[in-house]
Amino acid sequence: MNFHIGHEETVLFSFWKITTLGDLIGSSIGIFFLAVLYEGLKALRKYLLRNGTNSHPKKRAERSTRNATRSLQQPTLFSLDHILQTLLHIIQITLSYFLMLIFMTYNVWLCIVVTLGAGAGYFVFGLKRGVVDDKNEHCNQWDEQPMNPRNN
C-alpha cells in the first residue's frame, strides 16, 4: 500500500463510495467531525471520571471529601458511573478504529482530514488535559502517587 491522491475511494463500508470531488468534500467534512467527536468523547470520559456522573448532593459531598483526602474510591461493577464509562468507552474505541481504518485507505486527503479533525478536537476539548493526569491512558496503577524526591 502507498499513499495516493484521488477522489475515488471506498470508505469503511461498500455503500460509502467516493466517486466525485463533491463526495470527497462531503465525506471529508463528516470524517473531520468524527475525529473531533473522538477527542470530545475522550474529554467527556475524563471529566466524568474526575467528577463522577451522579449530580446527587450526597455524591457531590462524597466527591469533595474524597478529593480533599485525595483517595479514589472505585465504582462498583454495576454502578451507573461504571456502566456509563463502559458504554462511552465502547463508542470511543469503535470510533477510534473507524478513524484508523479511514486513515489506512492511504488517501492523502482523508489522512489529512483525520489528523486535522483530531487536532481541532484536541484544541477544543484538550485545554485542561495537561492539568489532570489520566491514568487510563498509560500503565500507571490507580493507587500510585507521584514520587516525591524528598521522600527517597
The predicted structure's pLDDT at residue 144 = 45
Which pLDDT belongs to residue 21? 93
- What mean pLDDT do residues 20-30 have? 94
Residue 108's contacts (CB-CB under 8 Å, 6 or more residues apart) are 3, 4, 5
Alpha-carbon Rg for the chain, nearest whole angstrom, is 20
Confidence check: pLDDT of 12 > 80: yes
> In terms of C-beta density within 10 A (0-12 exposed, 13-18 middle, 19 or more buried), how is residue 120 classed?
middle
Q: Is the pLDDT of residue 29 over 60?
A: yes
pLDDT at 142: 43
92 pLDDT tier (thresholds 50, 70, 90): very high
**Domain range list for the chain:** 9-125
**Nearest partner of 28 among 121, 113, 98, judged by Cα:** 113
9, containing H or E segment? strand 9-10
CA pair distance 30, 12, nearest whole angstrom: 13
pLDDT in tens, 110-134: 999 999 999 999 999 987 655 555 5
Whether this model's pTM surpasses 0.85: no
